[in-house]
Structures are given as C-alpha cells and as structure tokens.
Amino acid sequence: MHNHISTILTSLLCSSMLFAQDPVSLEMEPIEANGAITAVTLYRGRSAVTRTTTLDLKAGGYSIFFRDLSSSTFLDTVQAHVSGNTKLLSVDTSTTPIAKDNSKLLAEINAEIKAVEAKIDSIHARKKANGLQTSLLEKLIEQAGNDKAEPVDLDTLADQLDFVGKRMTQLAQSQIDNENELQELKAELQALMRKKNNISQEYRNQTDAIIDIGLVEAGTVEIEITYLVNNANWKPTYSIRASDGGNEIVIEYSAEISQRTGEHWTDVTLTLSTAQPQRSATPPKPSPWYVDVQLPQETRDFANSPQMRGRMRTNYEAADSAVAGGASMGLAELKSMVEDASAEATVVGDGPSVSFAIPRTVTIPSNAQEKQTTAIAAIEASAELYRIAAPMFTDSVFIQAKVTNDSPYILLPGQASIFHGSDYVGKAAIAMVAPNETFALNLGIDPSVTATRTLIEKNTAATGLFSSGIQTIYDYRISISNGRNESIFVHVWDRIPVSRNESIEILLENLSESLTTDTVYLESDRPRGLLRWDLTVPANNSGDLSYVLQWRVNVARGKDVVMTPLPECHQPS
C-alpha cells in the first residue's frame, strides 16, 4: 500500500549519507500534478500515453498525483522520469471508487416531470371548458323545446339547431381527444417517476498515478509519466497517383487513426509505431497434444461491443492566431510554420519495428464517431510502365506499372485508392514494401489498345504407322492493335494444356515470336503451361497494321486413349 504521508528516503538525497546505517523518514507533501497529455505513441490496438507537468518546488519530499488515468491503463506499465537533480523515489498507482454525480440527470428528469404535469393540467382545463360549453348548449336545446316558448322564426331556428348540432359534435370529439392525450401523458409521467426512483448511487473507479520525488534544493522540476492503454489503433492508407504517362508515381502515405481510451488527446506529439508492446518476447514451446472421444459442448455467442470512431483534427491553431495577430508575426515566420506543419514524418528506429514521428501536433478526442487520417509522407517513386494482355479472357489491355519504393519508408500492408491522371481507377491492396523494393501497380484499362485472340484452325487426324495415334492441332493468332502515338511494351499471356499422363504429349510449335526469357517466368509459370511473350508494339499499329502473334498447339495421344476434354476445342467462327 502506498504511504501518502511519508516514505523511506535512503542515500538518494545526499552522497554523504551513502553509508548511513539508519533510514531517514522524509515527510511527503501531496501535490496535484495537473499534468496534460503531451505525447502519444500509437501502436496497433493500444498506445503509450505521456503526461507532463512542470512544478516550482522547494527542497523536500513530494507525492505528485496524476489524476484519472484511462480505465484501460495497464497499471504495470506506469513509469516516470524526472529532470535535473530531482530524485525519483517511487512510482505507484491507486484505484478509488468515486461516486457518480447524478444531480444533472435528476434535474433533467424533474424538468421533464414538471413539463408533463403542466400538460396534464392544461388538458384538465380544456375538459372543464368543454363541459361548460356542453351544458350551455344543452340548456339552449331544452329552452328551444319548451312548449310555452314564444313562436320563433323557423329559418332562424333551423340555423340555430344546425349550429348547436355541429358544436356538440366538435365538443364530443374534443373530449375524446383530450381523454386519449391524458392517458398517454399519465403513462409518460409514471415512466419518468419510475426512472427517477430507480436512479441509485453509482460509482466509477478512478485510477491515479502517485510519483514520490525528493529535492535536495529548490528548483523547477519536470515530471513525466508514461503508461500503456487499450482501445487505440492506426492503420496505413494510401492514395497512389500516376501521371498520364504512368512513369511518375506519387504515393500519399497516410494513417487512419481512432481511439476510445476515455482520455482526450489535445495538441499532442504523435508517433506511429509498428511495434507490439505487451506481446510476449519469449518464444513459444509446444505442449503435449492429447486426443480423446469428443463430448458434446455447450456453445455460447458473445456479441462484440460496438466500436466508437475517433475524430482527429490537425493543430493549426497557432497559424490561425498568427494570421489574427498580423503585426506580431511576419509573413516569413508564418510561412515557416505552415511548412513545418506540412512536413513529412521522420522514420525512427532500424530494429524489427518502425516508428513514424509526425512533425505536427494533433488533437484526437476519445469516443468520436468517425476515423480521421493524418499524412505521413508524399513519396515520389520511379516506375516502369507496361501493358498486360490476356486475350483468351478479354480484348481489353490493362496498364500496369513496376513501382520502386525510393523512399526510406516501409510501406505497410493497407488499402490504396488508385488514380491514373485525373481518373479514379479503384482500390487495391498493398503488401509490405521495404525501401528500394518494387511492387506491381494496376492502373486500369488502356482504351487505345486491344488484343484479340482467334482460333484459326483445328484439325484432328490419325498419325503413325497403321494410324496408331491421334493428334489434334490448334492454330492460334493474336492481333494487338495500338492506337497510341507511341510504342508500347506488352506482356501477352496465354496457355497450353499440361499433360499428366505419359500417353498424352503436348507440343508447342510454329511460334512467330519467342517466349520471354524472364527467369521467374521460366521457373514458376512455364512448367504450368502458361505462355508469356514480352513484345514491343509500334505506334499507330491498328486494323490491317495490327501486330500479329501466331503459334500452334499439337495434342498427340494413342488412338485408344480417352482424354479429358480440352477447354478450347470450339471451331473458329
């Protein structure tokens, strides 16, 4: 248990006491830190929060109280740092039940009750007025039917009776409406009274950090505590913009941030990290694996708590005040502030994790409804543009770029919005890309280029001595039309069957162009029957001038071999 009155101060205060035999009792004066959150290191699913306070203190001992830490704080992670000649004596935490103040809620309920009671009184007044009017009309009817009454004009009497009848109908309907409304208000009043009576004394746990320090001499002390909390997260997002030519790529690297820790992060210094604190650093070891007869087990469903979304705003208040100040800040200084705020994040660390230090302060309220993004960097990457054609599936030719990450940033896995020129292409998943690594980027369909595949001829005939075998020959042609004013580099893909039985032989013959010599293709794709040509198609080659690629597939087998059907055995149209 933490002792808030005194602590045992050993040789930390004075070097002359290094060999003292008896401990010294130092009176500890409690001080409220009122420390604000100044820095946050955001991990995946949690964050390290730093609170800082600066105090002017005399020589002596002090217990500094940092109040109301997040309810999701990992208490064993609380640590403290002090400046100057101040001695850090101990770090402790305490959790205290705090009565919840329901006075505001009770005031709101009482106001609602008063408003409902006023409506009920109004209805009673209307019912009374309706009753008086009804009595008066009934007297008029009784008087009109009196035999001793003087003769009256029949037309006038008819008008009076019509008026009385209509008014009586209106009053009767009004009485019904008043009664219905009265019942609804009484039910509402009863519900409010139950709600008021059911409000009990509620408590919440308040967690405080208590930092004991000792000062040999008076001075200004900066005290900083850091602790790990749950319910905070970030993930990378990208907007990748390619120039019309596709050789210039800008990767806008951002972070989508949310937090519901219960603490508002106001004007904090933010660092984004890929580390995983609180994860075990001990390698796993297998445990015995036993099997037995499966017994029925009861299953239970657990609903996930709804996740709140955080909102975040970038701290540009300083620039706003500078504009308002006008004379107090020059244009050059204001420009420097804006440039600093829009600077790119700094990459920190070269170990197994990477951190991005955001160069501007941010504000992220807790439990907000929407996620927000903050920019990490805008990366200018180099790219090699080419086309991909697979005319056995589609005539469309796709644009693809081989992008090199020339930056010091690791591109973490995430979703990217792709833009080619002014056109939005769509979304794509980005895998992890280290500095100087390359990745393929799809930029959509090129409307100026098409690739058409045609089965020119299919012929099945007997072969060998005494017609002992059968062979089927497929002749294919691909025509590539390039309507652009520049030559293009195209990867053309197709396939041939792959035999899984020695009695069936597949031959690729009469190629008008050689297959690519790319090492990766030859090792992984060619053995699986995939064909790839790397071609340069001249500019303005369309119609009769289209680039033509031809080849033949020869499928040979014994005459008694029943072969599985080929997917492309249709006659050319």
DSSP codes, 428-469: EEE--B-TT-EEEEEEEEEEEEEEEEEEEEEEEEEESGGG-E
Taking the C-alpha atoms of residue 552 and residue 560, their distance in angstroms, rounded to an integer, is 24
Q: How do 355-364 and 414-420 pair as beta strands?
A: unpaired
The DSSP H or E segment spanning 351 is none
Alpha-carbon distance values, 54 to 36, 82, 219, 220, 266 (Å): 10, 10, 10, 7, 18
Residues 85, 101: Cα–Cα separation, whole Å: 42
Q: Which of 437, 490, 493, 497 is nearest to 473 (CA)?
A: 497
Closest-CA residue to 530 (of 515, 541, 542): 515
**How would you write the pLDDT of the chain (573 residues) with one tens digit per residue?**
454 444 444 434 444 444 445 666 778 999 999 999 999 999 988 999 999 999 999 999 999 999 999 999 999 999 999 988 899 999 999 998 887 777 788 888 889 989 988 988 888 888 888 788 878 777 766 666 665 555 555 566 567 667 777 777 887 888 888 888 889 888 988 988 888 877 766 677 899 999 999 998 899 999 999 999 999 999 999 999 988 777 789 999 999 999 999 899 999 999 999 887 755 556 767 877 776 666 665 544 433 433 333 333 344 333 333 333 433 445 555 455 545 555 666 666 555 577 888 888 989 888 766 788 899 989 998 888 899 999 999 999 999 999 999 888 889 999 999 998 888 988 989 899 989 999 998 888 999 999 999 999 998 888 765 457 888 899 999 999 999 999 999 999 999 999 888 888 899 999 999 999 999 999 999 999 999 999 999 999 888 889 999 999 998 888 888 888 776 644 333
In 79-94, which positions are buried (b, 16+ CB within 10 angstroms) versus exposed (e)? bbebeeebbebeebbe
Q: How far apart are CA 381 and CA 438, in angstroms?
A: 10
136, burial (CB in 10 Å: exposed 0-12, middle 13-18, buried 19+): exposed
Neighbours of 451 (CB within 10 A): 26
Cα dist from 339 to 334, 342, 343, 347, whole Å: 9, 5, 6, 18
Residue 543 vs residues 394, 453, 482, 492: alpha-carbon distances, Å:
18, 14, 9, 19
Reading the block at residue 525, the tokens are 């794709």
- Closest residue by Cα to residue 552 from 476, 492, 459, 472: 476
For the entire predicted model, the pTM comes to 0.61
C-beta separation of 425 from 391 below 8 A: no
**For the CA atoms of the chain, what is the radius of gyration?**
41
User: H-helix or E-strand containing 323?
Assistant: helix 317-325
User: Using CA atoms, how far apart are residues 119 and 172, in angstroms rounded to an integer?
Assistant: 20
**Beta partners for residue 454, in sequence order:** 477
* Residue 407 and residue 350 in contact, taking contact as beta carbons nearer than 8 Å: no
Antiparallel, parallel or unpaired: β 346-348 and 355-364: antiparallel
The β-bridge relationship of strands 24-32 and 60-69 is: parallel
Give the number of other CB atoms < 10 A from CB of residue 558: 14
CA dist 470 and 22 (Å) reads 105
d(Cα 244, Cα 246) in Å, to the nearest integer? 5
Classify 34 in phi/psi space as left (phi over 0), alpha (psi -120 to 50) or beta: left
Q: How crowded is the C-beta side of 420, counted as CA atoms within 13 Å?
A: 19
